[in-house]
Structures are given as C-alpha cells and as structure tokens.
A and B are shown apart, each in its own frame.
Chain A
Amino acid sequence: MNLKTVNSPPLGNQRSEVPPTETQVRILYYLKLTRELEDRIERKLYRQGKIVGGVYVGRGQEAIAIGSCIDLRPDDVVCPSHRDMGAYLLKGMDLRTILAQYMGRKTGPTKGKDANLHMGSLDHNIIAFISMLGDSVPVAAGIGLSFKMRGQDRVVICPFGDGATSRGDWHEGVNMASVFKCPVVYLCNNNQYAYSTPLERQMAVENVADRAAAYGMPGEIVDGNDVLAVWEASRRAIARARAGEGPSLIECKTFRMTGHSAHDDASYVPPELFQFWEERDPIRRLERNLLKRGVMTADAIDEMQQRINSEIDEAIQQAEQDPYPEPGDCLRDVYDES
C-alpha cells in the first residue's frame, strides 16, 4: 500500500505562531488526561463490564479537540462528536461526572438516559450530539445565528469526522452557516475510516477541505497529529468567526488508532497504517518538542502522568459509588415538569 494515497498529513508545517509555554504545558496535560481517561474507559472499565453498551474513543486524535478548544472562552460553545473527549474536559466537565455518565449513574449529565459521550451541559456550553453524525452541523449554525441576533461575540466549534461530511445535514448546515456568516469553526477529524469504510469510498474529492469552496468559506488542511498546528489554524478561524467574517472549515488529517468502537477489532485496516501513524502519535510528538526546547523535563512529564493517574483513580472510585437512577426515572423529563 502506498501510504501517500491514504491522506498522509502535510509535511513541514510552517508555523508563524505558537502558544505561550504555559499553554503548551496545559495542552500536554489535557492530551495525556484524555488518553489516560479513554484508556481506562475502553481497556479497563468496559472490559470489566462496568461500562455497558458501546464505547468509542479518540486514541491518536486527541490533538484535534484540544488544539482547537484550549483557548475558548467559557461562553463559547462546542458541539463535540464521539472522538472529542478533550473538548468536554476543556469546557470544564469534571472526571467524576464523565465517568458517572459512562457507568450509567444518576450523577452523569444524562442521569443515565444516554450513554458515553452522548452528553451535554448548557452550563458548560457543551451541546450533546446524537448518533446521526452530522446533525450538529446545522445546529451549530443556529447557535451562531443566535449570537449574531444578540450581538454577542461568542463562537461555536463544531467537530465531526470524515464520514459525517457525506450526510445531507452536513451540507445543509455548512451552507446555511456560510450564507448567514455564522461564527462557527467547522473542524473535521479526518481519521480516514468511517467504521470500516475507507475514505475513497466516502468521497471522490481528495480532501474534506476541498468541500469548503462549494460553500464559499475558507478550507484549510492541517496535520491533525500536530497539536500546535491545530492550535494555530483554529486560532485563525476563531478570530475570523469572532470578527463576524463567517465560518471556516479546518480539516485535520489524522488516523483512528482503534476500531470504530470497543467491539470492533479493525482487522480491515492494513497494519502498516497503524505503524505509520503510531510514529506520529500526537502526545509523544509534543513531549519530544517540549523536552527538546527545555520547556519540560522528563521528570516533570512523569510527574504529570502520575498526577493524572491519581486524579482518574479518585474519580473512578467516586463514580463507582454514585447511585444508579431509579427505574421509574425512565418516565421523567420527557417534557418540562416545572
């Protein structure tokens, strides 16, 4: 297999800007937190039967949510998708709440009504996505439209995968956002597989970003495994949106380092692809960068990992003690009960 044909990332990102060093350290923390949390969810809690149903993780793609959302204001909104754990963490949802959600507890944001990352919180400005991927795209346009109506300078970040861009809702949503110049950053994590379907069976254009031209918005391709590149492109798109100049489409080339879900062994993916992308792991890349530039020491990185481990240990313990919903709660909250 020719790796060039599988949408490898652009080489040699020319960066004109990098975030301040304290932001870079924060980015590393959230990358590692996301990785560790999802590892625990998929490789431990799910296999132990403590999480039931479907589990989907974003291993290898963590840089996209984190690079794009690290600088968001609390009043900015994110419409994440199922590989965007980092967005929930950055918007302030705490570990215990997230784990309670996965374990179907009453203390999760859906009180056990829905599973995994299918959760949101208006207090945190996180919109809960649904399984029909791409549906959040026009919703993000409407959120942006409401900001325009109220004269607010808030922005929306709306991530999705390559597969979602085949859906009609995606096209209706980006078109509408562009026609109305809504302050939205559309962020594609092109991980090259939609379940088992490779990119060339998903679309006949080479890049998702090529679709932007059809809607009169800028489309940019970045190396989705380079968190600083994602940060830089997002920063431009956020500034453009906040300035009232309309939406942008950023395509982050990446790779799904797992199956579609925990029950999918991804045997349809050529092993050399995993190897190619393993060498481009976003977390190790940033670590090498920070070590090389003397921003962090190896000991400090180890210490960060230990801290993350114990934060997650504690959150799992708490969430496991949280109560399940009462069976009769099934009947609650279909309509406004106030």
Chain B
Amino acid sequence: MALTTYVEAIRQGIWEEMERDESVFVLGEDVGLYGGAFKVTDGLLEKFGELRVVDTPISESGIVGAAIGAALMGMRPVAEMQFADFIACGFDQITNFAAKCRYRWGAPVPMVIRGPSGGGVHGGPFHSQNPEMYFVHTPGLKVVCPSTAYDAKGLIKSAIRDNDPVLYFEHKYLYRRIKEELPSEDFTVPIGKAIIRRKGRDISVITYGAMVYIALDAAKELAKEGIELEVLDLRSLLPYDREAVLESAKKTSKVILLHEDTKIGGFAGELAALISEEAFDYLDGPIRRITAPDTPVPYSPPLEEFFLPKVSDVVRVARELHAY
C-alpha cells in the first residue's frame, strides 16, 4: 500500500469531510486556483467548485469573521491561514467573537482554522512561529497539533465534526518528511487524547508536534546507554490529556517537558504546574523544560539551529535527570 505524507493526510481528511457533509467548505488566501501555498487544498476547487472552495482577499480577520458568520448559519468552514503566523491578524475575531459565542448566547461556531506552524525551514520570524499558546489561554477554543500523518487526518476530521471552534496547527517541517500507511476506511482521532509514542521506564518526555521526533531520536540514542525514555505525544493542547500526563509522570517519576515554542508562557509551564500539584509525591527529580529560547524565530541557519530544541539537548538533560 502506498505511503501517505502528512500534508496529503490533511488534504484527504478535508476532501473526505467535504464529500461526507455539504456544509463543509474551505476558504483562505490562494486555496482554490493555486491549491494553497503548501498544496493542502490542491484539487479541491476542481472537485467541489468555487462556492465551496473560496479564494479570499488578503484579510485574515475578514476570513475568520466570514467563517464565524457562516458557522453561525450552520456551515462548517475550514479557514486556512497561509502561515500560522498570520493568525495574529485574526486574533480578535478568534478570541473575542468565535471563542465566546457559545458561552455568551449559546450559539455554536463549528469552525476550523488551520495553518502551517513551526520552524526548521529557514522561514524567518514571520513564517516559523508556534502561535498555539495565544489560543490555549482562551476558553472556548480547542487547539490541536498533530505529529503523524494518521493523526493529521484523524484530527482534521474530528476538528471539522466538532461543534466548537478548533485551531489546527500543522507543522510545516513534517509536511513531506513524514509518511505512513493509512487505513482505507474512515477514522478519526479524538481531540483531547494523548498517545504514548514509545514506552519507557526511566524518564517521561512530554511533547507535541515536530518535537515528537526529536524525543524519539533522543530515546534511541539513550537506549544504547540503558536509559529508557517514555515519549508522550499530547496531540491536543486544549483540552489536553491530564490523565495521560499524570500517569506517565507517576510511572517514571522524572519528567522532561519539550516543545518548539518559546519558554515563558509555553505549554511546559502548565504541565509542570499540573504535575507538581497532582503528582508531587511521585517525583524523583526536578521537572525539566526544553524549549526554544525567548526570542523571535531567527532566519540564518546557525541562528535557527541554535533556536530549535535538538536531540542533543534532550540527551544531555535526560542524562542529568537520570543521574539525579
């Protein structure tokens, strides 16, 4: 069976949902005729026509606002931010309008906003960011960050079927580097459920997105010296799988929190607080964070290399923690 890339998995997920439910449509910049800057929506225009594949002006706030309006009328829009960085332009519509409709007046906004996030492709400060935490701090939204082709497809389907606004951050570094065999039948991945990518007894590495692969590579290396990492992929940040986090922390008693996002206000802070509140007695060492430094994402290769968390960082911290 053919292998499916991460980017193709997202495309298939949207395609199948559009076939299944005619209230699903996509809108965004260059999503139709051009098929999307990363080709996530390639071929949709020919298949579904321009009423359901809407090329928009360069108006992120307008795109989100229009998606909200359509969603309030019972449509299920999938809005693309050409780069996740550009979501900043739609911040107000997302956090003030979409996120609060149900709470304020019981109106569902079944909308997906998706876009490529993350670095490693020399995109510089405005094509590499990880903006998830702006939204994790907004009750009423859901936030997912798939790391595999299976999850990319399963989570885009869950996001489209969800009755609340879901932000779907796809990691652009993984688009064509990750591929796997996917089931031919319909499947979904539930929002809010983590998954263990590698079982291990010594140290839990709790992570998401492209950093899952950094953790797995570090685990391979450390296994050679007898240190067994457990790699927990969160998959969803809001809501997140508290039980899975606590279970893994209690099992290994040592925790590394790893993300590509910057440190202050990053998701690791929330996880560290949860673990110390709920599993303090189980810990045999300090909770360690490995994150990008608190800077913008730089462009030049040596700078970006420095910025991104690396396998060697995880190996070093794991050795320290193991010896603790």
Contact = CB atoms under 8 A, between A and B. Distances in A.
Nearest to A118: B104
Query: Is the interface on chain B under 10, 10 to 19, 20 to 34, or 35 or more residues?
Result: 35 or more
A120 B103 CA distance: 12
B108 interface: yes
A175 interface: yes
Contact of B70 (A118, A130, A142): A142
B103 A176 contact: no
Contact of B62 (A109, A127, A169, A334): A169
B30 to A, nearest CB: 15
Contact of A172 (B52, B59, B103, B139): B59
Interface string B16-28: 0000000001000
A153 B99 CA distance: 29
Interface in A108-164: 109-111, 113-114, 118-122, 127-128, 130-132, 135, 137-149
A139 B104 contact: no
A56 B70 CA distance: 28
A114 B97 CA distance: 13
Nearest to B163: A336
B69 A141 contact: yes
A130 B96 contact: yes
A147 B70 CA distance: 8
Contact of B96 (A132, A141, A145, A334): A132
B69 A334 contact: no
Contact of A179 (B51, B57, B70): B57
A169 B106 contact: no
Nearest to B51: A149
Contacts of B56: 176, 179
A120 B70 CA distance: 16
B105 A135 contact: no
Contacts of A335: 102, 140, 142, 164
A168 interface: yes
Contact of A113 (B62, B74, B103): B103
Given A135-B92, A336-B108, A148 B163 contact: no
A143 B105 contact: no
Contacts of B105: 109-110, 113-114, 119-121, 128
A58 interface: no
B139 A334 contact: yes
A173 interface: yes
Contacts of B279: none
Interface residues of A, number: 43
A140 B52 contact: no
A142 B107 contact: no
Given A168-B61, A176-B56, A143 B103 contact: no
Contact of B69 (A130, A144, A179): A144
A114 B107 CA distance: 13
B92 A113 contact: no
Nearest to A128: B105
Given A120-B107, A135-B92, A336-B164, A142 B66 contact: yes
Given A149-B51, A149-B75, A142 B69 contact: yes
Contacts of B140: 334-335
B65 A139 contact: yes
B222 interface: no
B289 interface: no
B103 A128 contact: no
A265 interface: no
A139 B72 contact: yes
B100 interface: yes
A338 B164 CA distance: 12
Nearest to B25: A149
A128 B107 contact: yes
Interface string B79-94: 0000000000000110
Interface string A59-81: 00000000000000000010000
Contacts of A141: 62, 65-66, 69
A279 interface: no
A336 B163 CA distance: 6
Nearest to A108: B105
A282 B32 CA distance: 48
B124 to A, nearest CB: 24
Interface in B159-207: 162-164
Contact of A146 (B61, B73, B101): B73
B79 to A, nearest CB: 10
Contacts of B59: 138, 172, 175-176
B68 interface: yes
Contacts of A326: none
A22 interface: no
A140 B66 CA distance: 7
10 nearest interchain CB pairs? Answer: A142-B69, A138-B65, A142-B66, A172-B62, A143-B69, A139-B69, A172-B59, A336-B163, A146-B73, A146-B70
Given A135-B65, A145-B70, A180-B54, 9 more contacts: A109-B106, A122-B107, A135-B93, A138-B65, A142-B77, A147-B73, A175-B59, A176-B63, A336-B108
28 contacts: A109-B105, A122-B72, A130-B96, A131-B96, A135-B96, A137-B65, A138-B59, A138-B62, A138-B64, A139-B72, A141-B65, A142-B68, A142-B69, A142-B70, A142-B72, A142-B73, A142-B77, A143-B70, A143-B72, A146-B69, A169-B61, A175-B57, A176-B62, A334-B103, A334-B140, A335-B164, A336-B108, A336-B162
